[in-house]
Amino acid sequence: MKHFTLNGEIRAKGNKAVLKAFRRQGLVPCNLYGQGIDNILFTVNEKELKGLSHTPASYIVDLNLSGKTYTAVVHEYQWHPVEDTCLHVDFLAVDEKKPIVISVPLSISGHPKGVQAGGKFVQSARSLKVCGLMKNLPDLLPVDVTPLELDKRMVAGDLKFEGLQIVSDKNTIICSVKTTRAMQQAAQEAAKAAQE
């Protein structure tokens, strides 16, 4: 999995007024926690953070905090309810020797059989949560939808990836091929014609 380097400055614990002052300066308050480290409070530049927050890709984050580097993944973003601004980010420190849980985007390929039969392809999930060692984490999860027949769906439980365990609910619908209205109408008309 690709790495993303983010520079930050360690900060002291502050009240709401302090946090608002950071945001006015274009800084986003963050928090890093995880096994073996004390909670670290820091700020990052909002523009730099967008390279991480405004992309469908997933990254291992190399946090450079006041000269010391930590390896982490994004645990949670807190967004402003109206504006497209990030208010706070929680990072989880990770270790290459321990499994990491992270969302990885899906890469759909193939032409479903059901679409060739006139159905409509619908993608319901864009990513899945997986667990694996850092060295096994891919940038994308490849999904071949060629075998998907008409009125059938593919769920997370149908997928297997080497060296990874799928953490998302196994009933999460990835994609499906649905019968179109035109097909239903044609089937009704054919049934009517057969009765006459």
Q: Supply the CATH number for residue 123's domain.
A: 2.170.120.20
Give this prediction's pTM: 0.81
Tokens representing residue 44 in the block: 């990052």
- Which of 53, 68, 95 delimits the end of a domain? 95
Token pair, residue 187, equals: 């089937």
**Residues of the chain scoring pLDDT < 70:** none
Q: How far apart are CA 171 and CA 106, in angstroms?
A: 16
Can you tell me which residue has the tokens 């967004």? 79
Domain boundary among 64, 95, 126: 95
* Type and span of the H or E element at 7: strand 3-10
155, burial (CB in 10 Å: exposed 0-12, middle 13-18, buried 19+): middle
As given in the structure block, the two tokens for residue 134 are 């850092």
Domain boundary among 63, 95, 127: 95
Residue 184, C-beta contacts closer than 8 angstroms, at least 6 positions apart: none
Would 196 be classed as within a structural domain? no
What is the reported pLDDT for 133? Answer: 94
Question: Cα–Cα distances in Å, from 147 out to 28, 118, 159, 171, 176?
Answer: 45, 15, 13, 18, 11
Res 14: pLDDT: 80
Q: Which residues span the domain enclosing 10? A: 3-95
Q: How many helices (H) and strands (E) does the chain have?
A: 4, 13
User: How many CA atoms does the CB half-sphere of 77 hold within 13 Å?
Assistant: 13
Distance of alpha carbon 148 from its chain centroid, rounded?
Answer: 23
Q: Does residue 138 fall inside a structural domain?
A: yes
